[in-house]
Amino acid sequence: MSKETKKRKLDHIKVCMEEDVEFDRKTTLLEEVILPKTVPDINLEDVDTSTKFLGKKTAAPIFVNSITGGEERAKKINKDIAAACEKLGLGMALGSQRAMLEDESIVHTYDVTKDYNPAFLLGNIGIAQLEEYSIDELEWLVKKIDGNGLFVHINPAQEAVQPEGDTDFHGLLDKLGEISKKVDYPVIVKQVGEGISRDTAQKLSKMDLYGVDVGGAGGSDWTKIEHLRSEDSYGKTFENWGIPTAQSLIEVQEVFPGGKIMATGGIRNGLDVAKSLALGADVCGMALPVLKAQQKNGEEGVRKLLEDIVEELKIAMFLTDCENIDELRSLEPKLSPKLTSRLK
């Protein structure tokens, strides 16, 4: 792996742990989503949070989103997350595997399935790398980690303000469409804090994709992170760039029929999960809170955080009289004028 790639990965972890990296002038707008209140006619103990994703049963529609990989500190992070996910029956995604393609000797920092068995496991590569590597190399990424699918992440704002960023996005959506037809595993397009608009979702709906991860604004702000890690970055100007998670979810589900939708970007508790599912998400993910929990208390910290979020989801389902995830997804939440005004 190049020294540049390794340093960038370490820088990102350091900044996320030491600085306030979340959006400060924009929220997910999930607070503008109101779930219907009712008197439940069910027993809280009977609430079933289980569902299926990527053909795998997961104990709850919750997964740990992409964080890192590629060096020894990353290996410990991924192993702790995988161990917690195995115990709780939840899925996880890996950080960008570009480093694996640069240096096969660091595969072990991503390969969690040798020791643990999360409900599902997603590999990860940037859309800018689709022109660099062959179909065989991309398939190798998933096969080498015994994964169930591949995230292709799209992060133009981060790349544009990153001094060493990849900024030639010309023709990459067309390339994505070609690759999604040729590979023999599910491909999911993932945004990274910038959200997916209705127009982009319409383009993606014409491709042979398993789903999209909206990756909306409201959680970690990657333009801010790039500004904090490098004085040469233009990230300060573009802080708070992106479509809030709730808005992105609504826009995507309107034009992406049949495909799976993942909600990430500022998901922080079980109520956020419940609201996202009611807006059309199939599963919800988070990264920054998990990283902080892992750095503080290792596997135990990750497990406790995820247990709490699952329990909060159960309570939200109980309060809305939903005994299972299908019932929760069939709710019709009310949207505040602040949110509806952004959808016109």
Q: Read off the CATH number of the domain in which 143 is found.
A: 3.20.20.70
Q: How far apart are CA 338 and CA 181, in angstroms?
A: 39
Q: Hey, how many other C-beta atoms are within 10 angstroms of the C-beta on 46? A: 10
Q: How far apart are CA 210 and CA 120, in angstroms?
A: 14
Helix H or strand E encompassing 200: helix 198-205
Q: Please, what is the average pLDDT of the chain?
A: 96
Tell me how many domains the chain contains.
Answer: 1
Q: How far apart are CA 21 and CA 3, in angstroms?
A: 24
Q: Hey, how many other C-beta atoms are within 10 angstroms of the C-beta on 48? A: 15
Would you say residue 26 has pLDDT above 80? yes
Q: Hey, how many other C-beta atoms are within 10 angstroms of the C-beta on 58? A: 22
Would you say residue 70 has pLDDT above 90? no
Q: Which domain holds residue 327?
A: 3-343
Confidence of residue 245 (pLDDT cuts 50, 70, 90): very high
The confidence score (pLDDT) of residue 1 equals: 55
Share of the chain above pLDDT 70, in %: 99
pLDDT in tens, 136-187: 999 999 999 999 999 999 999 999 999 989 999 999 999 999 999 999 999 9
Indicate the pTM of the whole model.
0.96
Q: How far apart are CA 186 and CA 326, in angstroms?
A: 23
In whole angstroms, how far apart are CA 293 and each of 80, 95, 290?
A: 10, 17, 5
pLDDT in tens, 89-131: 999 999 999 999 989 999 999 999 999 999 999 999 999 999 9
In whole angstroms, how far apart are CA 119 and each of 61, 100, 113, 149, 280?
A: 11, 23, 11, 12, 21
For residue 298, the SS3 value is helix
The confidence score (pLDDT) of residue 231 equals: 84
Confidence of residue 2 (pLDDT cuts 50, 70, 90): low
